Structure 1
Amino acid sequence: MTRLLIGKDGFTLPIELVTSTQAILARKRSGKSYTASVQAEELLRHKQQIATIDPTGAWWGLRSSAAGDGPGYPVVVFGGDHADAPLEPHAGRMLATALVEHGFSAIFDVGLMVTEDQIRFTSDFSSEHP
C-alpha cells in the first residue's frame, strides 16, 4: 500500500487521503499551512491531483523546487500575484467542473479578493458536483 510521508519522524498517511475530506484545525501560527503543503507535495509526488484554495498567496511556491532554483510540481495558479490565469469570484462552479473533467492540479489564490468575493468563489467551488 502506498503511503504519504508526512513527518520527519516517519509519520505516514495512506494515499487514499486524496479522496477524503479533511480539516486541519489549530491556533494561528501553529503550522496548519505547512502541514497541508507537505501533504500536497506528497500527493503530487505520487502523481495525485490536488486543488487548494489559498487565502495567503503562498501556495504558488509548489511550482519551484524546495531550494527555489528549479522546477517544482505542475500546478496551475489562478489569481494572485503569480497567476497563470486570472481568477474571478463568479468562476467557482466552472473551475470545479474543469478540474474534474480535465484532471489537472490547481491553486486558487483568493488572497487579493475582498472577503465577500472569497466567500462567493469558495462556496460556489465547493458546492459544485460535476
Structure 2
Amino acid sequence: MLISEEDARLLVERGERYSRNAARFPMSWLGYCMICGSGVFYLLGVSTSGYHLPLVFWVIFALWTAAGLALSILLGVWSRCVPAGFGKRWTVMMMLWTFAWILTVSWAATLESRFVLILGVLYVVLAVVGPVWELAAMRSGK
C-alpha cells in the first residue's frame, strides 16, 4: 500500500509531536507518586500497629520517602524544559498531598478502618490525578 506525499508528511508531523510531548513530560511526577505511596505505607503501618512498629519499618519508610523527594527534586532540576503551567499543577497537587499527609500524621493511630480506607484511596487518587492532569494539559497544549 502506497501513501501519498501529503499523508506521509502528516504522519511524520504527528510522530514528531508525540515525540516532543514524551520528551517534555516532567519526570518529577515519578517522585510524587512515590511520596503518595509513602503516605499509604505510613497510614497502614501506624493505623494497624500504632507508633510501636519495628525499626525496619521506620527505616524503609524514611528511605522510600527520601527517595521520592530526591527523585522529584533532582528530576525537576535536571529537566531541560517543562510544559507551560507545570509549576501551577505541581503546586496544587503538592498542597493536596500535604493536606492528606497532615490528616494522616495527625490521626493515623486513632482512625477507624473506614477512614483508613478513605485516606488510602485519597493517596491513590492523588497519585493518579497529578500525572493525568499533566498529560491532559500537554495534549490540549495548555
- Relative to the length of structure 2, the TM-score reads 0.24
More RCO (CA 8 Å, sep 6+): 2
Give the helix-richer structure, 1 or 2. 2
